[in-house]
Structure 1
Amino acid sequence: MDSAAAVSFDANGTIGAYQIGVLISCVLLGVTTTQTYIYYSRFPEDPAILKALVAFVWVCEVAHAICVAHALYQFTILDYGHAERLFSRLPISLDTAVFFNALIEQSVLGFFSFRIYTLSMKLYVPILIVFLSSVRFLASMVTFIITLRLPSLQSYNAHWSWLSIAQWSTSVVNDVVTTAALVILLYNRRTGVRRKTIALVDKIIVWTIETGMLTSATAIFMIIFYLTMKERMIWLGAFTVSSRMYSNSLLASLNSREALRSMNATQVSLHSFVSRPGIEILQTTTTNTVVDITAKFPSQPQPFQANRQCEEC
């Protein structure tokens, strides 16, 4: 590395920021793996299509982690002492991580759009979510192809930065729409049910908002740092974490059924449907609560039913 490059090279804002992102990403992969194990252990009777979705997302997450880790190895070991290479052609492994990130986001948003349909039995919001996620997916595929051909990261930033901004902005809008739709649908189902059941629904609403905020906040973080400090790699560090937010929101949604079972309960079914995951809350006369968010597959659609007795329970 020549002296001029050594002076201008900001290791903390480039390799350091990316390395922190990769480390956090690996920690979150451990969380994803743990949640996946918990899911298969506690919900063996879930439908095969749901198990396949979880397996697919986990495999994509592992592949994504391998890609971003390999890129870190190239930055810190293979290109050690050659700071100029950091801004030359990006490692193919990092380009490939964009591909897996898109697959994960598309799969998770498809799951949530399906859930919204089963709660509302209306198509306009799910169609909007699928449309936005498809636009995001196609833009990611274009980015993947472009970065494979461009000579450097600077070249991409100079001519195609709008594409990244468009992708992340679409993700923010889609996350907000998805979260808002789920919250509104769940809130509307609080009417006419027991107070303890309302507490359960409120808990689900809070979890829905929290997971939706995490994915949106990550995308907003990338937009801000890409626009203000494009020459650094803070935004790229956030990118390594973004897919973990989606996979963990999916698994947290599925595994929360086990946690909610420990709360008080009455019998109330929020919704179930033909060969598709729905939400069901069952309250018994015991202290055990059964909350099935995506595990019910009846032969015919069941309308929302609420036990209006014992309003003071």
Structure 2
Amino acid sequence: MDDPAVPHTTIGVCLIGALVSFMLFGVMTTQTYIYYKRFPDDSLKLKALVAFVWTCDGVHTLCVGHLLYVYTIYDNAHTQGILGRPAPKSYETTIFFYGVTGAIVQGFFSFRIYGFSKKLYLCILIYVLAFLRLLATIASLYVGLRMTSLAKYLEQEVWRATAGWAMGTTNDLIITSTLVVILHRRRKDAFRRTAALVDQVILWTLETGMLMSVTGIISLACFVTMRENFIWFAIFLVEAKIFSNSLLASLNSRETLRAINDQNISLSLSRATPSTIVYDGEPAKMAGVNGNVV
């Protein structure tokens, strides 16, 4: 592999990716604070899950900062021979925590899908793909800690990285499409005043899922075609933060959706006759939309 010392496609893009990554960690930290503030009655397991994801995201951010410091300060932004020497240990560590966070988030959405559909095979498929991707990142960490040069390491990682990204992107698409199908079916049975609520959930699900999928596809394409520069790695740094933010956004959106639902109920009650109130206002149905879909 050639080693063209081009700062703007190596350290330059790394810097951009790191800055965006730092910004998204700030967003994630804010979302974590909002979560604990708004949902004090959530289960201890869910609170612990959020705390663990935030911790992994924080360690990932520290590793990104260390990597940036080594390349810009310690190496004095010297790009000549950057592929011919080993990468800092923080390089492999960022990959590991990316894999851990991704597996946790995909596992969370798998559990949510099972709660909606009660289809165990979908849950198992998502869990298996997430676990295999995590194994791929662990293997990358093991090999990376023993690398003699970054160029050789990247050559060895082509098949493993391709497989890992392919499994992750496939999983994201499975999760997104499954949630959309489930929510669309529920929309058919929803009352008129809750249809808009379900539409909003579908839209947010599509936006989040497609963002994760597209980011993974772009990272993989850049890695396969342009391994000699760090464009793929810059996108990779951002991709890790999208995972953690999607989890917190999903949890915190419950407050907004409940507010929309309550507003719809108030408007419906103010316009309804007594007979329509009895017909439209099944508490069990409303609780299902408010508690389970969101």
Residue 183 of structure 1 is matched in structure 2 by: 180
Aligned with 1:128 (options 95, 103, 125): 125
Match of 2:71 among 75, 80, 83: 75
What secondary structure is seen at the aligned counterpart in 1 of 2:41?
A: coil
Q: Is the 8 A contact 2:14 2:68 kept in 1?
A: yes
**Pair 1:249 & 2:241 matched:** no
Q: Partner of 1:20 in structure 2?
A: 16
Q: Retained in 1: the 8 A contact 2:183–2:293?
A: no
1:298 equivalent in structure 2? none
Deviation at 1:97, TM superposition (A): 1.1
CA distance in 2 between partners of 1:293 and 1:71 (Å): 41
Change (3 A) 1:183 1:30: same
Task: Specify the code of the residue in structure 1 equivalent to 2:255.
Answer: E
Matches within 5 A, 1:148-297: 148-263=145-260, 264-265=264-265, 280-281=288-289, 291-293=290-292
2:141 paired residue among 144, 150, 155? 144
Offset of residue 270 of structure 1: 6.8
Secondary structure of residue in 1 paired with 2:229:
coil
- Could you give the per-residue CA deviations for residues 89-135 of structure 1, whole angstroms, max 9, x where no partner exists? 01101111111111111111111000011111110101000010011
Which amino acid counterpart does residue 54 of structure 2 have in structure 1?
W
CA distance in 1, matches of 2:44, 2:285: 22
How far does the alpha carbon of each residue in 1:52-99 deviate from its partner, in whole angstroms, 9 at most, with x for none?
000000000000000011001000010115323522101101111111
Given that 2:86 and 2:149 are in contact with CA atoms closer than 8 Å, whether structure 1 keeps it comes out as yes
Structure with the bigger percentage of strand? 1
The Cα of 1:194 is off from its aligned counterpart by: 1.2
Alpha carbons of structure 1 residues 83 and 197: separation in structure 2 relative to 1, 3 Å? same
Unaligned runs of 5+ in 2: 266-280
Supply the AA of the counterpart residue of 1:140: T
Matched residues in 1 for 2:137 and 2:186: separation?
37
Which residue number in structure 2 is paired with residue 98 of structure 1?
Answer: 95
The one-letter code of the counterpart of 2:61 is: A
Shift of 1:260: 1.1
CA shift at 1:160, angstroms? 2.4
The 1:270–1:181 alpha-carbon spacing in structure 2 relative to 1, beyond 3 Å, is farther
Q: Structure 1 42/198 Cα, relative in aligned 2: closer, same or farther at 3 Å?
A: same
Q: Deviations over 1:183-222 (max 9, x none)?
A: 1111111123211211111110110111101111111111
Which residue of structure 1 lines up, in the alignment, with residue 271 of structure 2?
none
User: For 1:9, what is the secondary structure of its paired residue?
Assistant: coil
Q: 2: distance between equivalents of 1:256 and 1:110? A: 19
Hey, which of these two has a bigger chunk of helix by percent? 2
1:40 is matched with which residue?
A: 36
Q: CA deviation at 1:293?
A: 4.6
Q: Which residue of 2 aligns with 1:54?
A: 50
Once residues 91 and 248 of structure 1 are traced to their aligned partners in structure 2, the CA distance between those partners, rounded to angstroms, is 26
Residue correspondences, number: 273
Structure 1 residues 140, 268: CA separation in 2 closer, same or farther (over 3 Å shift)?
Answer: farther
Closer/same/farther in 2, CA of residues 267 and 137 from structure 1, 3 Å limit = farther
Bigger RCO of structures 1 and 2 (CA < 8 A, at least 6 apart): 2
Residues 129-155 of structure 1 show CA distances to partners (whole Å, capped at 9, x for unaligned) of 001001100011000111111111110
The answer to whether the 8 Å contact 1:254/1:293 transfers is: no
Does the Cα contact within 8 Å between 2:35 and 2:251 map onto a contact in 1?
yes
TM-align CA RMSD: 1.8
Change beyond 3 A, Cα 1:64–1:294: farther
Alignment match, 1:64: 60
**Deviation of residue 162 (structure 1)?**
1.3
Task: Specify the SS of the correspondent of 2:190.
Answer: coil
Of the structure 1 ranges 57-66 and 152-161, higher mean CA displacement relative to structure 2 is found in 152-161
Q: Do the aligned residues in 2 keep the contact of 1:253 with 1:293 (CA within 8 Å)? A: no
Q: What percentage of aligned pairs have identical amino acids?
A: 45
The Cα shift of 1:242 comes to: 1.2
Q: Distance in 1 between matches of 2:282 and 2:239?
A: 37
